[in-house]
């Protein structure tokens, strides 16, 4: 799908997703019989007020691999293909170490990336806040990846810890949405369909909240609008 959508349409879709909630997206995916796309509850925003994450998956995979100090050229090479509207998705074994920090965030931001999703550790949280670069990750750690955790692939399917299954597959070009309720992955072939239905549910919820504020009871609202 990524190859079928031009740059302007990609950004339009991304902006529209920023106006819907992960909860509605999850409900839509359930109705489409794609029920296991939510990520584990450990994925949280860093800093806590980082805001929403919405963008196209650019996947990066790594593993625990002892190697000499002096940088990680493979990690930098893997990031070269990141483009506007992308979210870098970091995966692989390496618990305890940091995969992502301030300097990578600066480089990704220069390329137009709109955030990062990290199934592992991050650091430089204070400086990420100053960069206004949203990151959702499982934990923070001051321990760098250099000499410990090495990138071994990019733009390949990766596996992130899931909410209802052990792992959720993320393919390049899938869509990522994360907010206060958590993070969810929308398969690339369903991105537009899920968005349109999530927008419909959002409009219904806005109408319900408006009428409740005007005195309509919840039972009356459910009779009028149905279950959402």
Give 193's pLDDT tier (boundaries 50, 70, 90): very high
Q: Is residue 218 part of a domain?
A: no
Tell me the pLDDT band of 7, cut-offs 50, 70 and 90: confident
Mean pLDDT, the chain, integer: 88
What tens digit of pLDDT does each residue of 103-116 get? 999 999 999 999 99
What's the confidence (pLDDT) of residue 29? 98
Examine residue 110 and state whether it is found in any structural domain, yes or no: yes
Q: How many domains does the chain have?
A: 1
Q: Is 206 contained in some domain?
A: no
More confident residue, 224 or 50: 50
24: domain CATH number is 3.50.30.40
Query: Is residue 227 in a domain?
Result: no
pLDDT band at 211 (very low <50, low <70, confident <90, very high): low
The pLDDT value recorded for residue 2 is 44
pLDDT tens digits along 162-175:
999 999 999 999 99
pLDDT band for 28, please (50, 70, 90 cuts). Answer: very high
- Name the token pair of 151: 């990138």
Q: What percent of the chain has pLDDT over 70?
A: 87
Residue 180 has pLDDT above 60, yes or no: yes
Identify whether 146 is part of a domain: yes
| pLDDT of res. 215 | 72
Instruction: Tell me if 170 is assigned to some domain.
Output: yes
> Residue 133: which domain range?
2-188
Determine the pLDDT at residue 68.
72
Q: Is the pLDDT of residue 144 over 90?
A: no
């Amino acid at each position: 799908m990524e190859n079928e959508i031009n740059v302007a349409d990609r950004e339009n879709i991304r902006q529209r997703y920023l106006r819907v909630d992960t909860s509605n997206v999850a409900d839509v995916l359930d109705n489409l019989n794609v029920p296991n796309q939510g990520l584990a509850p450990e994925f949280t925003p860093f800093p806590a007020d980082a805001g929403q994450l919405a963008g196209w998956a650019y996947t990066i995979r790594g593993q625990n691999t002892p190697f000499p100090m002096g940088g990680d050229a493979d990690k930098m090479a893997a990031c070269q293909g990141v483009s506007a509207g992308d979210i870098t998705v970091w995966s692989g074994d390496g618990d305890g170490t940091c995969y992502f920090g301030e300097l990578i965030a600066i480089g990704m931001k220069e390329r137009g990336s709109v955030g990062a999703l990290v199934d592992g550790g991050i650091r430089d949280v204070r400086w990420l806040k100053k960069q206004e670069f949203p990151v959702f990750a499982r934990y923070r750690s001051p321990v760098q990846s250099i000499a410990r955790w090495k990138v071994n692939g990019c733009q390949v399917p990766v596996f992130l810890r899931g909410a209802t299954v052990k792992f959720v597959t993320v393919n390049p070009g899938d869509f990522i949405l994360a907010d206060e309720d958590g993070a969810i992955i929308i398969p690339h072939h369903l991105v537009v369909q899920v968005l349109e239905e999530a927008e419909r549910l959002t409009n219904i919820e806005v109408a319900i909240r408006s009428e409740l504020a005007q005195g309509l009871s919840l039972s009356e609202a459910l009779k009028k609008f149905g279950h959402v």
